[in-house]
């Protein structure tokens, strides 16, 4: 701490000196501006004089005779003026020509004045920055350090294996292995052992976990948007986000929204708990270099993430995004109509899938990824392009009901989910709950008793396929498993 | 040993300061030339605007000497060229001085290092 204090003092000294230097330049500019203004005023007076001079043939004046005496005299040849052109060159001109020359010069002076004013403004800005920097390093001022403790969460049982941290702007590979679901299908839902066996609760937990990952991404988007709105550089804000913890330097203005997601929690994402609360932080004056705000995550599995496949998708990510967009927009005073434009912005690979959708029956249907093999179409695959609108709606509602269900589990609820809740249809849910709750849409004529997987338009289309692989009770899961085993599932199988 | 190095160091430092002075001199001379060039440009423009009806004078000491307009124009143009040439010359000079100062700086640093080594040794010896 002492060392830090020392370096702070050094920084402080340096910053102070910087500010002083800037200040000097600013003062210099000011004096130059004064000078040029005076010159300009002189030329204007001269201009006036030249205009009025030829009015009379001669004037009666008091001629200065040395420094102390005057003598009455006459000013004649009022139209003839000898002008200094510069560098000891003179020219005899008429008053009008002289006026033209004066105009020229005034223009020149004006441009000089503009240049100097610009420089001065520039340096004034720099002085401001230096001042801010100074105040920051002196632990004063309104800049605060936002820190989040990465604790070892007390919650037992990491569900599934530890996750690798993803690169922050890439879409995390949601290869959640839900293969165990196939085995659990016979089991009942709500409670189960926490280790290895994927019960429904774990399922939800996993869902939340993955949901959180996408939340992180959304947060990034939001943050970068916020950064944009704050007039900051998006890249700088996103690069800031990529730091594990924030560094004090850049003036990161504390508005209620610009919090950095704690990246280190991503690998611990096995805990389904973490939910960022935007307004929920405590401000602490830390003994360290900056006043620090510590905030902690609140436990809240909230959104419905029906994760049912190797490719998890945030189920209502589109919804969520819309809501977040609209929230963001509202906060910035725009109408919700603009959220549409937000949606068209591509920041992550997921956005591509979200945007490039086929619209069928008035509903956007995600396109299949060209990288995915078609072989699964013959099996229990869903036909993403042919799902009916009704089915889609149904699935959506189911998803929503899931979300509602989720909320009932959670301690706190996020504002966004709550927006979802009104549309919940809780009644549907319980009856449909099975080990995997989702709807499967399949090409093959399957009995409608098979629960339908929910399609999320913004989701990767392949999710559907994968969901179906793992879900359908009618479909022999073991057949599917060998074909496509995600690493999570594989790991779990190995663990077993 | 250390003393010899110190002497060398002093000599080098002097040379370095000399070079620095040369650099600053040439820089200031160049600046003067710049202003003169600007002024002559203005004069040239003004002369172009004038016509033969106006008489042109040149101030030589306390005397205003009448000049021909064309002559004046030619003179100013020549002066401008001269100034430009001078500026070029001074620029090359400046570069040379700069290089020299860099070299001398390097020499200085190496000498300093030697000195430190020597001084480091001598306390050990003693």
Pick the residue of A79, A80, A90 with the most B CBs within 10 A to test the interface with B by mutation.
A90
Mean pLDDT (chain A) is 63
At residue A453, the pLDDT reads 44
Distance from CA of B30 to the nearest CA of A (A): 17
Q: Is A296 helix (H, G, I), strand (E, B) or coil?
A: coil
Residue A69 confidence (pLDDT): 93
User: What is the pLDDT at residue A368?
Assistant: 64
Beta strand pairing status for A69-75 and A80-86?
unpaired
Pairing verdict, β A145-147 and A292-294 = parallel
pLDDT for B51: 80
Chain A residue numbers with beta carbons less than 8 Å from the beta carbon of B43 are 85-87, 89
Residue of higher predicted confidence among A155 and B77: B77
**pLDDT computed for residue A156 by the predictor:** 57
Confidence at B77, pLDDT banded by 50, 70, 90:
very high
Query: Who wins on pLDDT, A56 or B51?
Result: A56
Categorize the per-residue pLDDT at A285 as very low, low, confident or very high, splitting at 50, 70 and 90: very low
CATH fold label, B1-117: Helix Hairpins (1.10.287)
Q: Which residue of B has its CA nearest to A104?
A: B46
B46–A contact, CB cutoff 8 A? yes
CB contact (8 A) between residue B79 and residue A87: yes
Q: Tell me, what CATH number does A43's domain have? A: 1.10.287.370
The pLDDT confidence band at residue A62, using thresholds 50, 70 and 90, is very high
**A69-125: pLDDT as tens digits:** 999 999 998 888 888 888 888 888 889 888 988 998 899 889 989 999 998 888 888
What residues of B are in contact with residue A101 (Cβ under 8 Å)?
46, 49
Per the model's pLDDT, the better-predicted residue between A276 and A38 turns out to be: A38
Binary contact (A90, B72; C-beta < 8 A): no
Q: Enumerate residues 66 to 125 of chain A having a beta carbon within 8 A of any beta carbon in chain B.
A: 82-83, 85-93, 97, 100-101, 104, 108
Q: Which of B37, B40, B44, B57 to mutate to test the interface with A (most CBs of A within 10 A)?
A: B57
Min Cα separation A90/chain B (Å): 5
* CA pair distance A118, B9, nearest whole angstrom: 46
Interface of A with B in 240-279 (CB under 8 A): none
Determine, yes or no, domain membership for A57.
yes
The residue length of chain B stands at 126
Is the ipTM of this structure higher than 0.85?
no
CB contact (8 A) between residue A90 and residue B64: yes
Contact list, B72 vs chain A (CB under 8 Å): 89
B126 inside 8 A of chain A by CB: no
Contacts of A93 in chain B (CB under 8 A): 50, 54
Residues of B in contact with A88 (CB under 8 A): 58-60
* More confident position, A371 or A390: A371
Q: Which of A20-34, A220-234, A418-432, A443-457 has the highest mean pLDDT?
A: A20-34
Question: Quick check: A89 and B49 CB within 8 A?
Answer: no
Query: Where is average pLDDT lowest: A52-56, A330-334, B32-36?
Result: A330-334
| Mean pLDDT confidence for A180-189 | 43
For residue A241, report the phi and psi dihedrals to the nearest 5 degrees.
-65, -25
Segments forming the whole domain that contains residue A35: 8-138
What is the per-residue pLDDT for A372? 64
Write the DSSP string, B37-60: HHHHHHHHHHHHH--TTS-EEEEE
Q: A183: Cβ–Cβ under 8 A, 6 or more apart, which residues?
A: A197, A477
Quick check: is A388 in a domain? no
> How many A-B residue pairs are in contact by the CB < 8 A criterion?
57
Most confident of A146-160, A303-317, A360-374, A392-406: A146-160
Rounded Cα distance between A179 and A173, Å, is 16
- Judged by CB atoms closer than 8 Å, whether chains meet at B72 and A82 is answered as no
Pairing of strands A292-294, A363-366: unpaired
Name the residue among B126, B93, B105 with its Cα closest to residue B26.
Answer: B93
More confident residue, A132 or A443: A132
CA-based nearest residue in chain B for residue A97: B50
User: Between chains, do B42 and A101 touch, taking CB under 8 Å as contact?
Assistant: no
pLDDT at A379: 47
Distance from CA of B58 to the nearest CA of A (A): 5
In the predicted structure, residue A437 carries a pLDDT above the cut 90 = no
**Residue of chain A with shortest Cα separation from B36:** A87
Tell me: pLDDT of A162 over 90: no
* B56–A88 CB contact, under 8 Å: no
Band (pLDDT 50/70/90 cuts) for residue A321 is low
Domain count, chain A: 1
Residue count of chain A, please give it. 496
Whole-number Å distance between alpha carbons of A111 and A109:
5
Q: Which residues of B touch A86 (CB under 8 A)?
A: 39-40, 42-43, 46
Q: Mean pLDDT in chain B?
A: 87
3-state secondary structure of A275: strand
Pairing of strands A292-294, A282-284: antiparallel
Measured in whole angstroms, the distance separating CA A484 from the mean position of its chain's CA atoms is 35
Q: Count CB neighbours of A359 within 10 A.
A: 9
Q: Which residues of B fall within a CB distance of 8 Å from A85? A: 42-43, 46-47
Domain limits, chain B = 1-117
Most confident residue range from A14-18, A95-99, A180-184, A438-442: A95-99
Q: In terms of pLDDT, which residue wins out, B84 or A178?
A: B84
Residue A239: pLDDT over 50: no
Output DSSP code: residue A357: E
Give the orientation angle of helix A389-409 with respect to helix A200-229, to 10 degrees. 100
Residue of A nearest to B41 (CA): A86
């Amino acid at each position: 701490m002492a060392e830090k204090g020392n370096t702070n003092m050094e920084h402080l000294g340096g910053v102070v000196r910087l500010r002083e230097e800037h200040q000097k330049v600013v003062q210099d500019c000011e004096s130059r501006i004064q000078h040029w203004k005076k010159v300009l005023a002189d030329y204007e007076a001269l201009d006036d004089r030249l205009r009025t001079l030829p009015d009379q043939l001669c004037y009666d004046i008091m001629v200065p005779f040395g420094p102390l005496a005057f003598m009455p005299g006459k000013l004649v040849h009022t139209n003839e003026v000898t002008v200094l052109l510069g560098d000891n060159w003179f020219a005899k001109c008429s008053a009008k020509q002289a006026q033209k020359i004066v105009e020229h010069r005034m223009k020149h002076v004006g441009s000089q004045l503009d240049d100097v004013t610009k420089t001065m403004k520039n340096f004034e800005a720099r002085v401001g920055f230096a001042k801010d920097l100074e105040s920051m390093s002196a632990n004063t001022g309104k800049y605060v350090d936002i820190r989040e403790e990465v604790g070892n969460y007390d919650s037992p049982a990491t569900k599934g294996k530890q996750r690798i941290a993803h690169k922050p702007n890439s879409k995390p590979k949601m290869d959640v292995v839900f293969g165990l679901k196939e085995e659990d299908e016979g089991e009942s839902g709500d409670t189960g052992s926490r280790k290895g066996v994927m019960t429904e609760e774990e399922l939800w937990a996993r869902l939340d976990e993955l949901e959180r990952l996408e939340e992180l991404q959304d947060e990034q988007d939001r943050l970068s948007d916020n950064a944009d709105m704050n007039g900051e550089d998006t890249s700088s804000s996103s690069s800031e986000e990529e730091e594990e913890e924030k560094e004090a330097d850049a003036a990161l203005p504390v508005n209620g929204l610009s919090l950095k997601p704690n990246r280190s929690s991503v690998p611990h994402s096995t805990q389904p708990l973490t939910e960022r609360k935007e307004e929920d932080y405590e401000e602490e004056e830390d003994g360290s270099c900056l006043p620090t705000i510590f905030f902690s995550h609140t436990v809240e599995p909230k959104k419905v993430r029906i994760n049912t496949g190797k490719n998890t998708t945030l189920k209502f990510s589109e919804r969520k995004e819309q809501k977040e967009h609209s929230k963001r927009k509202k906060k910035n005073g725009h109408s919700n109509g603009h959220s549409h434009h937000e949606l068209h912005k591509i920041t992550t690979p997921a956005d591509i899938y979200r945007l490039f959708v086929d619209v069928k029956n008035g509903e956007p249907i995600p396109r299949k990824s060209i990288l995915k093999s078609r072989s699964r179409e013959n099996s229990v695959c869903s036909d993403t392009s042919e799902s009916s609108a009704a089915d889609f709606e149904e699935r959506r509602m189911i998803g929503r009901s899931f979300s509602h269900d989720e909320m009932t589990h959670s301690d706190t609820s996020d504002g966004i989910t709550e927006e979802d809740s009104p549309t919940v249809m809780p009644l549907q849910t319980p009856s449909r709950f099975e080990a995997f709750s989702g709807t499967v849409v399949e090409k093959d004529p399957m009995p409608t008793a098979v629960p339908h997987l929910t399609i999320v338009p913004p989701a990767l289309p392949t999710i559907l396929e994968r969901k179906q692989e793992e879900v359908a009770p009618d479909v022999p899961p073991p057949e599917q498993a060998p074909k496509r085993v995600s690493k999570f599932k594989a790991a779990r199988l190995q663990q077993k | 040993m250390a003393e010899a190095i110190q002497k060398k160091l002093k000599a080098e430092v002097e040379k370095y300061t000399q070079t620095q002075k040369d650099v600053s001199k040439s820089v200031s001379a160049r600046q003067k030339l710049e202003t003169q060039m600007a002024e002559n440009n203005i004069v040239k423009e003004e002369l172009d605007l004038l016509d033969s009806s106006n008489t042109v004078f040149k101030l030589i000491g306390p005397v205003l000497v009448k000049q021909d307009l064309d002559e004046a124009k030619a003179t100013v143009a020549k002066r401008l060229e001269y100034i430009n040439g001078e500026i070029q010359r001074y620029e090359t000079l400046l570069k040379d001085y700069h290089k020299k100062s860099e070299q001398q700086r390097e020499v200085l640093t190496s000498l300093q290092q030697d000195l430190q080594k020597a001084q480091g040794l001598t306390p050990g010896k003693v």
